[in-house]
Amino acid sequence: MLDMTFEEAWKIVDKIGVWDALVEEGARALWDAAVGLGPGRHFVEIGCHLGRSSTLFMLLAKQHKHSLTFIDPWAGPPFGESDEKVSDVTAASWFWLIRGFHYPFTLHCCRTEQIPEANYPRGIDFIYIDGSHTERCVEIDCRMIEEVTPGGIVAFDNYGTHPPVQAAVDRLLSLGVLKKRALAGIVMVTEKA
C-alpha cells in the first residue's frame, strides 16, 4: 500500500461507478494536489454517489493516514434537491465498497445542511465538492470552505458543465478567497488563500 502511484490507484478507481463521474485527467489533478499536502490531513468529500472519487480519497487516506469525512444523502437525483431517495441499494453499495478498505471514515448520510452543528466538519485540509449542483446547494456546500485551513485544497467537479458551480467558483476566485491551481477537464483545483 505504501508509495502507491497514481497509475496504480487509477487502475482501481477506474473500475468503480461510471466512467464520466471522474475521468483520469481530473483524478490525477486531485491526486497530485492531495499528495502535495503531506500526511495526516483531513479530507472531506461532498457527493459520494457510486464511490468513484471516494475510492480515490480512500486510497490516498490509507496511504497517508488522513482522516476522511464523506457526505451524501443518497436522496434526490444526483444533481437535484428533493428528499426522495435515489436508491438504498446505491447507498449500501457505496458503504460496502468503502468499508472494504478497512480504514476508518466518518459518513454523514444526509444533505450538507442537515449535518448537526456539533458534528460539522472542521479543520479541513482538502475538500472535494461534487454534491447537488443547484445554485442553492452549491452555496450551502461552499460555506464549508470557511473550515478549510489556509493553503488547503478546495476542488470542484463540473466546472464548466454546471453554471451554478462555475459562478460560485469564479466568485470565490475573484474575491481572493480561493487561488486557482489547475483546471483539469471539468475538475477545478484551487487553494484556500
**Interface ranges with ligand SAM (CB under 6 A):** 17, 21-22, 46-53, 71-76, 78, 86, 111-112, 130-132, 137
CA distance 170 to 178: 9
73/121 with CB nearer ligand SAM: 73
38/83 with CB nearer ligand SAM: 83
In whole angstroms, what separates CA 1 from the centre of its chain? 22
132/166 with CB nearer ligand SAM: 132
Query: CB 176 → ligand SAM: shortest distance, Å?
Result: 26
CA distance 1 to 5: 10
CA distance 139 to 115: 15
Amino acid at 91: A
CA distance 27 to 190: 14
78/185 with CB nearer ligand SAM: 78
Query: CB 50 → ligand SAM: shortest distance, Å?
Result: 4
